[in-house]
A and B are shown apart, each in its own frame.
Chain A
Amino acid sequence: MQESESALFLAFQLVMAGDADLLEIVGLSLRVSVTAVLLSCAIGLPVGALVASQRFRGRSLVILLMNALMGLPPVVIGLLVYLQLSASGPFGWLQWLYTPTAMILAQTLLVAPIVAALSRQVLEDLHDEYSEYFDSLCLSAWSRVSTLLVDARYSLLTVSLAGFGRAIAEVGAVMIVGGNINHYTRVMTTSIALETSKGDLPMALGLGIVLLMIALIVNALVMTLRSSAERFAYA
């Protein structure tokens, strides 16, 4: 008890003092996860909007797959990416294994299905409301998709932040494909796992505190945006 209390005290000191190691790790975490979420949105939002607004054969199967992919455990994705990128794998020549690029790739594969599946649900409801208007104007598939994406912007922001929450908090995928290399691929979650096993509780706790703060800030941001959207009846 005594030990963990003083560890907590030291942790706060680390955070407040802006410890260089800690900042480096936090910085890489943010860079990897933000990039992965942006890529996931670039892929997942149009896919979600297309599936929501088009009727085609095999549509239910696609939705089923999307929803199933949403639940893939990060370690499994890490393993799959590892197999592709390892020296003997088909993409070994890229030499991405144990680089931040590999971590971005893995997190993108983790988050893109989440963004696609959640945005499909959000956009399908909106499409039900708008479809006669779209039909009346004879809009192209592309116009429908872009209208839906614009009009659901606030809900989609929530969706993308849910994706970010998943990316920043996962440990399995980045551990396997990043290797937790000091000063290169070490992120908050892998670092917490390592420092805890080493017994360096202040560092682990300090990172934990930062993770918590990020989660708090992100959620506060979502709440503010949503309430302003609701004020304009745009949500």
Chain B
Amino acid sequence: MPESGSAVASSPFISVTGVSVIRNDQRLLDNVSVDLGDSEFSVIMGSNGAGKSLLMRVIHGLVAPDSGRVEVAGSVNPSGVTTRLHQAMVFQKPVLLRRSVAANVDHVIDSKLKDRRLQRDSVLDEVGLLSLAKRPARLLSGGEQQRLALARALALKPSVLLLDEPTASLDPASSQLIERIVQKVHDAGCKVIFVTHDIGQARRLADDVIFMHKGQVVEHRPAGQFFDSPASDPAAAYLRGELYV
């Protein structure tokens, strides 16, 4: 496993150690170890089915690993509840309540905080959905749904933001908007973990890149090094746009 963990400049903030997730005799995550700093913009890449979403779920505490452990800010947290309280995750497939756009944001705010009108309108404005606030959320277009999911995550004011392909179904302008928002949140001191298949986007955003292949982290390096000279065959093939088997 080449240079795993060497990409962390600051002290490890999220530390995944020897994590395996096994379902039906398949090692969906296979002895994954990765240390993430508290300030870098970390991007996870890898082909379909590599285990990116699963690793995000493990970090978020939604899936308990069958072996290994996840430490966040120095404390091991098997149930994941207290880590989750400071994290917000935008799922690859957004789960939207059967309510209006505004009520969807209110729901997450109600779970945490008060004076919601102010917060709600500001996050909706940020993702460009304020004019659609009264619309039923499930009638939004795919890209608008993604933006609403992001708005809900922002409303939580997390210290860690997990984004699973948040721009996958967005037009270029919306993609850029999301990138700007996420970068702003990151600049304000939020740890961001971002899954994407868009190489250009990863180049623009990433401080460090975690590359996954078949349930393993095969590479974790600073973005510049990763894109210039990927050390592993699967990563090199992925960047060339080839299928690696």
A and B held together in a complex: yes
Most B C-beta atoms less than 10 A away, residue of A130, A136, A139, A235: A136
Total A-B residue contacts, Cβ distance less than 8 Å: 46
Chain A interface SS verdict (over half) = helix
Could you tell me if B111 and A143 are in contact, using CB atoms closer than 8 angstroms? yes
- Chain B CB within 8 A of A133 CB: yes
Question: With A132-B91, A232-B136, A233-B138 in contact, is A138–B84 under 8 Å at CB?
Answer: yes
Residue of B nearest to A150 (CB): B99
Could you tell me if B108 and A151 are in contact, using CB atoms closer than 8 angstroms? no
Could you tell me if A136 and B139 are in contact, using CB atoms closer than 8 angstroms? no
Residues of chain B contacted by A233 (CB below 8 angstroms)? 98, 136-139
Question: With A147-B107, A232-B136, A233-B138 in contact, is A135–B84 under 8 Å at CB?
Answer: yes
Residues of chain B contacted by A147 (CB below 8 angstroms)? 97, 107
Q: How far is the CA of A224 from the CA of B209 in the complex (A)?
A: 53
Residues of chain A contacted by B156 (CB below 8 angstroms)? 137
Residues of chain B contacted by A235 (CB below 8 angstroms)? 98
Q: How far is the CA of A136 from the CA of B90 in the complex (A)?
A: 9
Question: With A132-B62, A132-B95, A147-B97 in contact, is A138–B81 under 8 Å at CB?
Answer: yes
B100-111 contact mask (Cβ, 8 Å, vs A): 1 or 0: 000000011001
Most B C-beta atoms less than 10 A away, residue of A135, A147, A235: A135
Chain B count of residues within 8 A CB distance of the other chain: 21
Residue of B nearest to A154 (CB): B98
A 93-110 contacts with B by CB, 8 A: none
A 128-168 contacts with B by CB, 8 A: 129-130, 132-133, 135-139, 143, 147, 150-152
Could you tell me if A136 and B138 are in contact, using CB atoms closer than 8 angstroms? no
Residues of chain B contacted by A138 (CB below 8 angstroms)? 81, 84-85, 111
Q: How far is the CA of A110 from the CA of B73 in the complex (A)?
A: 54
Question: With A132-B91, A151-B99, A234-B99 in contact, is A137–B111 under 8 Å at CB?
Answer: yes
Residue of B nearest to A130 (CB): B95
Residues of chain B contacted by A137 (CB below 8 angstroms)? 84, 108, 111-112, 156
Could you tell me if A151 and B97 are in contact, using CB atoms closer than 8 angstroms? yes
In angstroms, how far is the closest chain A Cβ from the Cβ of B166?
Answer: 15
Could you tell me if B84 and A151 are in contact, using CB atoms closer than 8 angstroms? no
Q: How far is the CA of A125 from the CA of B209 in the complex (A)?
A: 37
Question: With A129-B95, A137-B111, A138-B84 in contact, is A234–B136 under 8 Å at CB?
Answer: yes
- Chain A CB within 8 A of B147 CB: no
Residues of chain A contacted by B137 (CB below 8 angstroms)? 233
Residue of A nearest to B156 (CB): A137
In angstroms, how far is the closest chain A Cβ from the Cβ of B101?
Answer: 12
Residues of chain A contacted by B81 (CB below 8 angstroms)? 138
B 96-132 contacts with A by CB, 8 A: 97-99, 107-108, 111-112
In angstroms, how far is the closest chain A Cβ from the Cβ of B140?
Answer: 9
In angstroms, how far is the closest chain A Cβ from the Cβ of B93?
Answer: 10
Could you tell me if A136 and B88 are in contact, using CB atoms closer than 8 angstroms? yes
Could you tell me if B98 and A151 are in contact, using CB atoms closer than 8 angstroms? yes
Could you tell me if B95 and A133 are in contact, using CB atoms closer than 8 angstroms? yes
- Chain A CB within 8 A of B220 CB: no
8 examples of A-B residue contacts, CB within 8 angstroms: A132-B95, A133-B95, A137-B108, A138-B84, A138-B111, A147-B97, A151-B97, A232-B136
Q: 7 tightest CB-CB pairs across the interface, nearest first?
A: A233-B138, A133-B95, A232-B136, A151-B98, A234-B98, A137-B111, A233-B139
Chain A contact residues, CB within 8 Å of chain B = 129-130, 132-133, 135-139, 143, 147, 150-152, 232-235
